[in-house]
Amino acid sequence: QREGRPTLRVAENKVVWQELDKLSSIYGLLNEKYRSEGFRKAASRVLYFDEKITESNVEKLRKKRVIGDHTIAVVKGILRDGKSARVAELTNNPVYKSLISFQRVWGIGYKTAEKLFVKGVRTLGDLRKRQHELLTSAQRIGLQYVDEFEQRMDRREAEQIIQFVADMCAKPPFAKHNLEVVGCGSYRRGKSTCGDVDVLILRPPNAPTKGLLAQLVGSLHAADLLTDDLHHARANWRAAAANDDADSDCDRETMDVDLEGLPVLSDAVVEDDSEGINEDAEGYFGVGRLPGRSVHRRIDIKIYPRHLKAFALLYFTGSAHFNRSMRFAAKKMGMALDDKGIYPCARCNGERLFEGLPQPKARWLSDPREEVTEEDVFAQLKFHYMPPERRET
């Protein structure tokens, strides 16, 4: 069973759940978003289904606009054969096989995979031979460590890496910034194994911290924790929000993992805030390993101003599935939730929400003067508070 999922209510449904989950992942990799989403919802329904699914009760899985004839037929197939014929069909298709294998590489998404295929690449072996012609430097690093990145680490190892970063932050020249270091992602959700290490660093909101993350990354290289850089970006969220089309869909999630041609240490527009509040968030994606260890691990580090802690924590703790449901709940309430706040949303579910009304405050719950907690965000969305361990789906 895949790590990071709650246990099934009814153990006998495991095969059905597993096959639907596989289909969701495969369709995701083939860029079939609706099918992928459909099978993901079906898998989640099976996860919480209270009876053993059989030919005679399979119709009970049906749910308006979520599970229809098509999915029911797939489930019947799984019940009959013990697996979905579709999985084999898709994974044995030579084109799909190539497209799926390319996406094992960090930094390669569907679009790049398609391009590589068009250029005649069929296997990771082919890709290795032509990497200098076809891949960015980050993708080449992804290819170099493709097998290592697929090995999950013990949570103890993730903890040691987080501690390594925290120790560095407690030393000069970083100590003067009073940084707070929190391990997020699957680690914070209490999983026994982690796919990578997600580190959130909180800094005072008014600090002149331009270049702080780059400096920290430099020190972590010098201390032999980091071995490679994949991507480093600075963003000013206000600048980003200002560029948002008011009519665009309120789901601000960006799903594309194709970070093509992105230079390490790219410097986006950073505006200084008039009130002296510096709201830049910075993110770093890299590779490292503890001294003496052999397997290289993916390490993500993000720095946020402290007053955005609740939102940053909530986002970076995940799971991705959980974040999606929470954003969906926000959307239904006419709001958009992201890693920096809750905002009113101009248009949700195709309906204009604030037409003719004065535009509500541009930002809720993330005022630098307020202490906002994760609990507050849950309450704002009318959710019962869920501790990180319960945020799997």
| Binding residues for ligand DCP (CB under 6 A) | 4, 185-186, 194-196, 198, 315-320, 323
Q: Quick one: 195 or 205, whose CB is closer to Mg ion?
A: 195
Size of the site for Mn ion (CB under 5 A): 3
Distances (CA, A) of 292 to 66, 142, 310: 49, 21, 35
* 74, interface contact from ligand DCP, Mn ion, Mg ion, none, CB < 5-8 Å by kind: none
Is-contact 195 298, C-beta < 8 A?
yes
Site membership for Mg ion, residue 339 (CB under 5 A) = no
The minimum distance between CB 182 and Mg ion, in angstroms, equals 13
The minimum distance between CB 347 and ligand DCP, in angstroms, equals 22
Amino acid identity at 355: E
User: CB nearest ligand DCP: which residue?
Assistant: 318
- CA dist., res. 229 & res. 140, Å (int): 11
Q: What is the DSSP string of 117-149?
A: HHTT--SHHHHHHHHHHH--HHHHHHHHTHHHH
SS3 state of residue 183: strand
The minimum distance between CB 327 and ligand DCP, in angstroms, equals 9
Q: Pattern 153-192, binding to Mn ion, x per CB under 5 A?
A: ----------------------------------------
Considering only the stretches 13-21, 46-54, 96-104, 293-301, report the one whose residues sit in contact with Mn ion under the rule CB under 5 A.
293-301
* 24, interface contact from Mn ion, Mg ion, ligand DCP, none, CB < 5-8 Å by kind: none
**How many CB atoms sit inside 10 A of residue 56's CB?**
7
Percentage helix, strand, coil for the chain under 3-state DSSP, each rounded to 5: 45, 15, 40
* 18, interface contact from Mn ion, Mg ion, ligand DCP, none, CB < 5-8 Å by kind: none
Site membership for Mn ion, residue 300 (CB under 5 A) = yes
- CA dist., res. 121 & res. 323, Å (int): 35
Considering only the stretches 173-181, 198-206, 235-243, 258-266, report the one whose residues sit in contact with Mn ion under the rule CB under 5 A.
198-206
- The DSSP bridge partners found for residue 299 are 197, 286
Q: Quick one: 16 or 200, whose CB is closer to ligand DCP?
A: 200
Site membership for Mg ion, residue 198 (CB under 5 A) = yes
Here the tokens at position 207 are: 């600090």
- CA dist., res. 294 & res. 154, Å (int): 14
Q: Quick one: 85 or 320, whose CB is closer to ligand DCP?
A: 320
The minimum distance between CB 145 and Mn ion, in angstroms, equals 14
Here the tokens at position 261 are: 């041609």
Give, as ranges, the residues between 9 and 38 that touch Mn ion (CB under 5 A).
none
Helix 124-134 vs helix 137-144: angle between axes, to the nearest 10 degrees?
160
State which of residues 28, 185, 205, 344 lies at the interface with Mg ion (CB under 5 A): 185
Distances (CA, A) of 253 to 156, 208, 337: 31, 29, 9
List residues near Mn ion by CB under 5 A: 196, 198, 300
List residues near Mg ion by CB under 5 A: 185-186, 196, 198
